[in-house]
Amino acid sequence: MTVRPFDLNLRHLRALSAVVARGSLNAAAEAVSLSQPALTQGLGKLERQLGVALFDRRPDGASPTPAGLVMAERSERAFAHLAAAGRSLGRGARGFARPEQLMTATQLHAFQQLADAGSFVGAAARSGLSQPALHRAVRDLEQICAVVLAERRGRGVALTEAGRRLARGVRLAASEIAAGVSEALGDDAPGGRIVIGAMPLSRALVLPHAIARFVAANPGVTVDVIEGSWRELIEPLRDGVIDVMIGAVRDEPPPGFDQAPLFSDRLAVVARAGHPLAGRPVTRADLAAFPWIVGSAGTPLRAQWVNLFADAAKPAAPIECGSVMVIRGVLIDSDFLTLLSPDQIALEIASSVLTLIDAEVPNGERRIGVTTRAGWRPTRSQAAMLTEIDRAVVQTRVPKSQ
């Protein structure tokens, strides 16, 4: 049976670290303001839910099993996310100093469902909770935090700024607890889920190859790919909606993120096979004689195109597009030119549908890599996916001579 993060009692999860640190149920019970029988019952319930022993009980105390250690560590990380979210909400006149210590798993589950669904109706359908129960849970959280978390807008609900901050903390906490469950159960863990944010340069060769190999070796794990640009994916990554992001990296990672390089990619001028410029060296004047498809304003591709014609008259660029599928279709049926990575059109080049134009693209190199949240610790399956991505880089790179 799959155990969802907020199926587990937060107070009992919070007690795990106390038991590990003190080596005694009696001492831990006092530290977390529970009676020793209540703590014993709570830990027993956790072990039954997980189907694994968390502690070895002895007459002189209790020692954690490997599963107990990992659950305690992941739970600590989860509560750290909730505490950070609580601090970010500010202090209302009647607010509690540590609101995260008063939140229940039922409240957090309900609020996460509301944040994801955008309405009480949708949240009820997703969670199985009644709308009155959802309303009550959100109201209770608002009282604990002393801030408004959600506001009605038409038929839906919009999170306030405080609500978005809390939702981020809740998602990150849920991810840590889920990771703890997966690591505690090891080979007995039910199928998990990995969410990957994929930017254009990763979607053509590297990521599909890595996913195919990963799912063959891990048939119980679901891989969810969310496509988008860096700007579209960075906040979902920060919020814990996405686990990892792959694509063009920034010169310096934004605060709160880590970047790991995979390879360097060089842009090329691309056209249909049989284009008037194909098969011979060309100048910028030659390039300027044909219309272009360019990226939207503010995107790296648009900046590269501007740089290509930095000290010359820019050609007509009547099409702004970020979809490789659309760009490919236009190129095939016209004399348009564009800037793309050879990786993105490797199949079209191999089948002689599109071709690379022999023109220099100044400063056209871009670093491709993996972006994660700072301090993120992957589960075993997530680490396996990162390994497959590294292998795919070696196995799928387009030869520079092509």
**CATH top-level class for 5-171?**
mainly alpha
- Please report the pLDDT score of residue 200 as a whole number: 78
Are 248 and 341 in contact by the 8 Å Cβ rule? The answer is no
**Coarse DSSP helix, strand, coil percentages of the chain, rounded to the nearest 5 percent:** 50, 20, 30
- Please report the pLDDT score of residue 49 as a whole number: 94
- The topology under which CATH files domain 192-264+367-396 is D-Maltodextrin-Binding Protein; domain 2 (3.40.190)
Q: Hey, is 118 helix, strand or coil?
A: coil
Alpha-carbon span 121 to 125, nearest angstrom: 6
Tell me, yes or no, if the two domains 192-264+367-396 and 268-363 fold the same way: yes
Alpha-carbon span 366 to 197, nearest angstrom: 18
Task: Give me the residue spans of the domains in the chain.
Answer: 5-171, 192-264+367-396, 268-363
- Please report the pLDDT score of residue 400 as a whole number: 44
Return the closest-CA partner of residue 110 out of 139, 78, 143, 72.
139
Residue 91 backbone dihedrals phi, psi, to 5 degrees: -120, 115
pLDDT (tens, 9 = 90+) of the chain, 402 residues, equals 678 899 999 999 999 999 999 988 888 888 888 888 999 999 999 999 999 999 998 887 889 999 999 999 999 999 999 999 988 887 554 567 788 888 999 999 999 999 998 888 889 988 888 999 999 999 999 999 999 999 988 777 899 999 999 999 999 999 999 999 999 988 666 678 899 999 877 777 889 999 999 999 988 899 999 998 888 999 999 999 999 999 988 888 899 999 999 988 889 999 999 999 999 999 999 999 999 999 888 887 888 899 999 888 889 999 999 888 899 999 999 999 999 988 888 889 999 999 999 998 888 888 899 999 999 999 989 999 999 999 999 888 654 433
| CATH number of the 268-363 domain | 3.40.190.10
Alpha-carbon span 220 to 226, nearest angstrom: 20
Residue 282 backbone dihedrals phi, psi, to 5 degrees: -130, 160
- Please report the pLDDT score of residue 96 as a whole number: 72
